Structure 1
């Protein structure tokens, strides 16, 4: 897939609106009951980048980024300000934030995940675009050092340890992350006069699978 490892300007995404989207197929039975299923294992996020624009300079920055991505052609990184850490928004990531795997004594590479819990239900979200310099890791609560005990692939979110964690050892990680997205349009339509009057362009952004 065509993807540029560059982040959409974070100051422009700060005012954007959006969040996770699910797809649910619902069949109503003759009895009045419903059968519900989903073809998606993972949610997909949508945003409107136009809402983050506050000046003509912002608009120029958006157009430059749009042109460099060739519209919908190339994907890019997006900072979702409502959900970009392995921990609560008010905290800083720690190496024990998320249990990403159990050691088996042989496996060295693991994918970063973030688990969302509510009651007895939970959802494990793959994290494939961690932010450089933010990934922390531990094995059985003992912190490991990047470049010494492990390496992180920033393009895939796969963490590889120098030595395989022992059988049943908790492998944990903390991190900041971006969302892989693309523009969901090949056109930006805006007039300078309307923009000055407070009308911002509609610039849809959609998450992509990588």
Structure 2
């Protein structure tokens, strides 16, 4: 995954460190030289571009044309909106997340303004970035135990390997259990004969190693 973080303050640095720890390819854009130095010391595996992220040329320098996702997390809502609109409408970044600093401005952070997800907490941003972007339509609902088993939710995409298949015919990763299937708001406990349709949301229990296999099946 190629991820750009616009804003290298406390939120941006926190997010960058988490994503780098997950093995993602992260580029941070920050205009404050002091913040840039802190970032380079704290996140040596991240690329840092010293520039204004609201300038299209800065986004191009950061590799926006190859980005899978961008998180605009500066301390100014108007700046985050400008960055989000540029990323989505000018450069067609698939996934754009923006930080909402003032809850009164939340109504502006919509897909119409280039924002796929508007959030106002660093940990929520990190969760959507790690799980929503890295695993596409798969979110970790809960982690269990020290060995990092998880309960995850995965959406059946049109054309995915599991679309139209009965659960008993799907080669799930080892130690994976399908706990429930949500179809158009109706939650059912499935059995081996349950067929997954596009748009269904499956809730699964799996190991840490199994999450990547699940992502490939549902992508």
Structure with more strand by fraction: 1
Query: Which of 1 and 2 has higher RCO (CA within 8 Å, sep 6+)?
Result: 1
Q: Quickly name the TM-score band, shorter chain normalised.
A: under 0.3
The TM-score normalised by the length of structure 1 is 0.26
Structure with more helix by fraction: 2
